[in-house]
């Protein structure tokens, strides 16, 4: 059976599974739609959390960005894993004990203010739409290659799939769908990693293969990679180029942003008790660690295979996978010096974002429309394809390639569904039910949630078609926004009896406005100034969320000291949330 047929069969089977689960577990009440009736087993919730957490950024893009920037990519590993530990240990059990449906509901109740709740809804929408843009782009990338359609068509197919099972099933359907998606994605990620580790090092465990010698030599994988890069003029893979302050700020933004992500937080509202919330956090950390400890090895293997299979070869000598991905518009070569050789080195191959056309060069290669910038390299490689193309680069069997396609789609679709659900519940429950239309009944509220989810799918699809950056970078922006807005409000809401509504609102507004403005300025208004010399205090847009968080804390504390203290019943509520009664059922207030 040929590879393309295998891809259709495997991807089609997984889609049928997801849709079948959505039909089987469709939500019939707002409790089922919002929090799966708080009846999800800790192990299953841990798997669903892992799927929700390991988005297209983790599955598709994280290893890709590490393979391109080497040591500097460790900020993603440190930030995202450290942030999950912070969330699991310090926030999730307390939020579960509070017993509400959504993060804006917690903010509104804790800060005894509908205004605070509305500000939180705005934060949710900003964060979720920024995050979901990366997921939908990931869906488009996978579809464009494996189903041989245009990226934009792939995004629209993904929209239809997500719309069906998120709108129909709500949190109940999404939870059990994400359990299946976790199994698909972790199997899809590990099988090629094991194969390639065996081929390169002879060690079947990728985490150990990463530190082993290349088979038949006394050279380690990293030394081999440094040598290959040096021959082509690249900075050594194990050398970092980011400043210490930027590394710190990016890592911290990713950590605290993780702890403020509403679609991850809401997963802990679905367990029966506070104790189960703690257990599910531990299981999720275990399930997440399987992929995250493998990613550095996958990155190194992918980079090694790329550097040994493409540079300094003619277009006719290029392997079949190169031309396959070229058709998808995610890799291209322009012969600038007319020597027929694929030159690859440091520097941007094309001016601005590459725009692919139907034009073909003299060698038959795909062309791009904006090639005015002279550079040392003639090769464009979209870093988001490194994980997906890795099995083909390594000449693995067709069924492994089909598996990686299904895994990439599972990763993107699982997180997209979770984000869209958070958006829809915030609009229906926190905006309509609690503010604009308080008299609507449960059936009307459920209908409003489904309509909101449908509109959110359309907007998310537009973000996927017109993405602001590559997948991991877009997701990093979402984490920065979460760090600057939600994290301080949640932490102070749990651990500070003196934090009042005026302080929390002012802090969220300042943190979100500052971080969003900084990102927009450097990424869209003045991208030419997006460099260390122009950044404020040397902090990149990816790390500015940390500074936004600091501003949030400072403004919140100052304003709270200048205004009246919270009511006495709120102070008692904060004390009650922190009492470690984790073994019993959660108490709703």
pLDDT tens for each residue of 434-479: 777 777 877 787 788 778 878 888 887 887 777 655 545 566 677 7
Domain check: are 449 and 369 in the same one? no
- Residues 357, 429: one domain? no
- Number of domains the chain contains: 2
Q: What is the pLDDT of residues 309-338, one digit of tens each?
A: 888 888 888 888 888 888 777 788 877 777
pLDDT of residue 552: 95
Q: 484 has which bridge partners?
A: none
Mean pLDDT over each residue of the chain, to the nearest integer: 80
Mark out the alpha helices in 267-346 (DSSP H runs).
274-292, 295-309, 320-327
Computed over its alpha carbons, how large is the radius of gyration of the chain? Answer: 24
Is position 309 within any domain? no
Q: End-to-end alpha-carbon separation of the chain, Å?
A: 59
Which secondary-structure segment (H or E) carries 291? helix 274-292
Neighbours of 253 (CB within 10 A): 34
Are 352 and 246 contained in the same domain? Answer: no
Tokens of 577: 């949330």
Residue 581, pLDDT above cutoff 60: no
Does residue 139 sit in the same domain as residue 233? Answer: yes
Domain end, chosen from 462, 481, 500, is at 481
Residue after which a domain boundary falls, among 366, 386, 406? 386
H or E, element range at 358: strand 356-360
Q: Residue 532: inside a domain, yes or no?
A: no
- 373 & 413 share domain: no
If asked whether residues 185 and 330 sit together in one domain, one would say no
pLDDT of residue 586: 45
pTM: 0.79
Helical segments of 365-441, H only = 386-393, 398-425
Rounded average pLDDT over 358-379: 62
Identify whether residues 92 and 184 lie together within a single domain: yes
pLDDT at 549 over 90: yes
Question: Collapsing DSSP states into helix, strand and coil, what is residue 448?
Answer: helix
- SS3 for 183-228 is HHHHHHHHHHHHHHHHHHHCCCCHHHHCCCECCCCCCEHHHHHHHH
User: What pLDDT was estimated at residue 314?
Assistant: 86
pLDDT, residue 51, reads: 82
Q: Are residues 364 and 427 both part of a single domain?
A: no
What pLDDT sits at residue 190? Answer: 92
Q: What local confidence, expressed as pLDDT, does residue 359 receive?
A: 62
In a domain, 516, yes or no: no
**546 band by pLDDT with thresholds 50, 70 and 90:** very high
pLDDT digits (tens, 9 = 90+) for 119-136: 888 878 877 777 777 677
CA atoms within 13 A on the CB side of 388: 34
* Residue 350, domain extent: 314-386
For a pLDDT cut of 70, what percent of the chain falls above it? Answer: 88
The C-alpha atoms of residue 331 and residue 75 are separated, in whole angstroms, by: 26
**Sequence-ordered alpha helix ranges (H) in 57-150:** 63-69, 74-86, 92-98, 103-110, 114-146
Residue 75 confidence (pLDDT): 85
> Which has the higher per-residue pLDDT, 416 or 225?
225
The alpha carbon of 503 is separated from its chain's Cα centroid by a whole number of angstroms, namely 30
Q: Are residues 88 and 198 in the same domain?
A: yes
pLDDT in tens, 506-522: 999 999 899 989 988 88
In a domain? residue 97: yes
What's the pLDDT band for 505 if we cut at 50, 70, 90? very high
DSSP H helix total and E strand total for the chain: 24, 4
> How far does CA 52 lie from the centroid of its chain?
9
Q: Which of 481, 499, 534 is the last residue of a domain?
A: 481
Domain-embedded: residue 588: no
User: Both 283 and 158 in a single domain?
Assistant: yes
Q: Do residues 203 and 307 make contact, with C-beta atoms less than 8 angstroms apart?
A: no
More confident residue, 584 or 103: 103
Question: Across residues 341-347, what is the average pLDDT?
Answer: 78
CATH number at residue 469: 1.20.1730.10
Mean pLDDT for 519-532 is 80
Higher pLDDT, 9 or 265: 9
Provide the pLDDT confidence category of residue 587 given band limits of 50, 70 and 90.
Answer: very low
User: Comparing 58-62, 168-172, 260-264, which segment has the lowest mean pLDDT?
Assistant: 168-172
Of 384, 493, 565, residue with least CA distance to 98: 493
Could you read off the pLDDT of 9-35 as tens digits, one per residue?
Answer: 988 888 888 878 877 776 666 666 666
DSSP letter (8 states) at residue 268: G
- What's the confidence (pLDDT) of residue 356? 61
Q: In a 3-state reduction of DSSP, which class is residue 119?
A: helix
Q: Provide the pLDDT for residue 350.
A: 61
Indicate if 156 and 239 belong to the same structural domain. yes
379-381 and 331-333 strand pairing: antiparallel
Average pLDDT over every residue of 415-433: 77
The reply to whether 492 falls in a domain is no
- Asked if residues 586 and 274 have their Cβ atoms less than 8 Å apart, the reply is yes
Which residue would you say has higher pLDDT here, 500 or 350?
500
Three-state SS for 381? strand
- DSSP annotation of 331: E
Same domain? 153 vs 56? yes
Residue 373 has pLDDT above 80, yes or no: no
Residues 198-248 pLDDT 10s = 999 999 999 998 889 888 888 899 999 888 888 877 888 888 788 889 889
User: Band of the pLDDT at 357, cuts 50, 70, 90?
Assistant: low
Residue 376 has pLDDT above 60, yes or no: no
| 572 is a domain residue | no
Lowest mean pLDDT among 110-114, 434-438, 485-489: 434-438
Q: Per DSSP, what are the bridge partners of residue 379?
A: 333
């Amino acid at each position: 059976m040929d590879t393309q047929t295998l891809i259709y069969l495997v991807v089609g089977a997984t889609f049928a599974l997801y849709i079948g689960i959505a039909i089987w577990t469709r939500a019939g009440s707002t409790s089922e739609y919002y929090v799966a009736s708080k009846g999800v087993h800790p192990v299953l919730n841990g798997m669903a959390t892992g799927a929700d957490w390991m988005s297209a950024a983790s599955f598709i893009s994280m290893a890709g960005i590490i393979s391109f920037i080497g040591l500097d990519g460790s900020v993603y590993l440190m930030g995202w894993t450290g942030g999950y530990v912070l969330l699991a240990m310090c926030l999730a059990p307390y939020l579960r004990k509070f017993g509400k449906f959504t993060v804006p509901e917690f903010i509104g109740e804790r800060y005894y203010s509908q205004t605070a709740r509305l500000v939180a809804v705005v934060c949710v929408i900003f964060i979720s739409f920024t995050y979901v843009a990366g997921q939908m782009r990931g869906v488009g990338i996978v579809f464009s290659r494996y189903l041989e359609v245009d990226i934009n068509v792939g995004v629209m197919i993904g929209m239809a799939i997500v719309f069906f099972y998120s709108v129909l099933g709500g949190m109940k359907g999404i939870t059990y769908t994400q359990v299946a998606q976790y199994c698909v994605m972790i199997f899809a990620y590990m099988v090629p990693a094991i194969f390639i580790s065996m081929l390169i090092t002879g060690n079947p465990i990728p985490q150990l293969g990463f530190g082993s010698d290349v088979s038949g030599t006394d050279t380690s994988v990293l030394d081999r990679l440094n040598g290959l890069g040096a021959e082509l003029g690249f900075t050594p893979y194990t050398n970092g180029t980011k400043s210490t302050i930027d590394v710190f700020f990016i890592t911290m933004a990713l950590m605290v942003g993780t702890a403020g992500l509403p679609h991850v937080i809401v997963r802990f509202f679905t367990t029966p008790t506070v104790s189960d919330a703690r257990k599910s956090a531990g299981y999720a950390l275990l399930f997440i660690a399987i992929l995250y400890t493998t990613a550095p090895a996958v990155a190194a293997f992918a980079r090694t295979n790329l550097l040994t299979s493409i540079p300094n070869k003619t277009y006719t000598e290029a392997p079949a996978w190169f031309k396959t991905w070229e058709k998808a518009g995610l890799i291209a070569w322009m012969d600038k010096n007319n020597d027929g050789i694929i030159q690859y080195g440091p520097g941007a191959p094309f001016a601005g974002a590459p725009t692919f056309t139907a034009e073909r060069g003299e060698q038959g290669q795909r062309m791009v429309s904006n090639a005015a910038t002279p550079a040392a390299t003639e090769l464009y490689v979209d870093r988001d394809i490194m994980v997906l193309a890795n099995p083909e680069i390594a000449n693995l069997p067709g069924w492994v390639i089909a598996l990686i396609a299904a895994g990439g789609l599972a990763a993107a679709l699982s997180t997209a569904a979770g984000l869209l659900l958070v958006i829809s519940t915030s609009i229906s429950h926190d905006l309509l039910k609690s503010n604009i239309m308080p008299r609507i009944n449960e059936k009307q509220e459920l209908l409003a949630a489904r309509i909101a989810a449908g509109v959110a799918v359309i907007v998310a699809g537009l973000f996927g078609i017109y993405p602001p950056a590559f997948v991991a970078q877009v997701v990093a922006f979402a984490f920065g926004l979460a760090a600057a807005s939600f994290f301080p409000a949640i932490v102070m809401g749990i651990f500070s009896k003196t934090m009042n509504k005026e302080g929390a609102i002012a802090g969220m507004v300042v943190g979100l406005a500052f971080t969003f403005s900084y990102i927009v300025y450097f990424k869209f208004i003045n991208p030419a100034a997006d460099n260390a010399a122009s950044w404020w205090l040397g902090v990149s847009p990816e790390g500015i969320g940390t500074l936004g968080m600091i501003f949030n804390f400072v403004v919140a504390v100052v304003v709270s000291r200048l205004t009246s203290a919270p009511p006495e019943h709120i102070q008692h509520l904060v004390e009650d949330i922190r009492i470690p009664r984790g073994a019993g059922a959660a108490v709703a207030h």
